[in-house]
Amino acid sequence: MNSTEIQHLIEQHTSDTDLRGIANKVLNGERINDRDCLVLYEKAELGFVGMLADYVRKQKTGDVVYFNKNIHIEPSNICIHNCKFCSYSKPQGDPQCWELSIEQMLAQVSETNENSITEVHIVGGVHPERGVDFYCELLSGIKELRPAIQIKAFTAVEIDYMAQKSKISFAEVFSKLKAAGLDAMPGGGAEILDDTLRQNICSSKSNSATWLAIHQAAHENGIPTNATMLYGHIETFAQRVAHMSKLRSLQDKTQGFNAFIPLKYRKENNDLALTEELPYIEDLRNFAIARLYLDNIAHIKAYWVMLGKELAQISLDFGVNDFDGTINDSTKIYSMAGAEETNPTLTETEMIALIHNAQRTAVERNSLYTHIKTYPQCN
């Protein structure tokens, strides 16, 4: 559907002047502001934002859907923080805790077929006894085993602790990690970048300014990162907008974010103990609004492990253009919270089929969004 056809539909079905004005901005390639974004959350129906987000997605990336071949390594779920929304972290000595040695983690890499992955993704709890030197040894070991593989590792919260433990700056942490083999950084730990809310749900975790400063330091040291938003708990629409506004402002400055990943709160086994999760229609609205507002971040990712394969596939009609990776069945961060995929793994063939069944072209990428191989739709 082109912009003229969308404009005609809006004029036929939308009498709200605010929404019409926002639609005109989007169709004219103008940036929407924070008030516009809040209006979308408060007023816009799924069909309205979905139609606009799909149009923007086509303008930015066409009908390509990216994926990569990766494995997740979770060094430990022992964590110094006790976030209310988290179902993953456990104290030392808990029957459900684990802490993998460097040798065990290197074995996970070496046991994976050399041609089956291009990325190792490493995220875990903030272990009180492990600092930057431990993780540099891990990264160096992976690169020694597989020199061509890319490593995307460590949330800003983990980086913050490494800097504190070693009494060095964020830039120095990144210098060490990059020399050891770090290629990119995930976007976890952002939750909602509102310190009043963070005091309620993750009071001991890095504050908003620190999270942003760490990502800026990564970008300035040549390390691209992702950005996330944990939504669907006790945050308000205004707090979501403010969160994305901070991300957009940093991206204007550094151009260092590769992708934005909305992460849905899951209610099982955590101290927030909410009785309901957001309905799927709200997940899709959130993807679409993110696509419309974050005009300077090229890729919107649906993390299929958290959403489930079916909803992730539907999200491709609401601004999403990335499916994350094939992973394997070792990641537990979302399965312990009640995610749809309790044994998250997809073969390359299954991933491509999911994308083709949505009438899109599958493109394998690496961690930096360099194209590796295109899989056109079969006629």
Residues 6+ away with beta carbon under 8 Å from 317: 50, 54, 358
Is 222 inside a domain boundary?
A: yes
Residues lower than pLDDT 50 in the chain: 334-339, 341
Instruction: Report pLDDT for 377.
Output: 84
Report if residue 18 sits inside a domain: no
How many folded domains does the chain comprise?
1
Domain that holds residue 203: 61-375
The DSSP bridge partners found for residue 357 are none
Give how far Cα 272 sits from Cα of 32, 38, 158, 219, 228, Å: 33, 25, 22, 33, 19
Domain containing 361 — which CATH number? 3.20.20.70
Cβ proximity of 328 and 71 under 8 Å: yes
Token pair, residue 260, equals: 């934005």
Residue with tokens 């770090």: 182
Flag whether 317 is in a domain.
yes
What pLDDT does 330 receive?
55
* pLDDT the model gives residue 327: 72
User: Looking at residue 148, what is its pLDDT?
Assistant: 95
Single out the residue of 99, 109, 170 nearest to residue 139, CA to CA: 109
Residue 53 in domain = no
pLDDT at 344: 57
| pLDDT for the residue numbered 14 | 87
Residue 13: predicted pLDDT: 79
Question: Quick check: is 19 in a domain?
Answer: no
For 325-372, write each residue's pLDDT tens digit: 887 655 555 444 444 545 557 888 989 999 999 999 999 999 999 999
Residue 134 domain-assigned?
A: yes
| 292 falls within a domain | yes
What pLDDT does residue 157 have? 97
Q: Is residue 56 part of a domain?
A: no
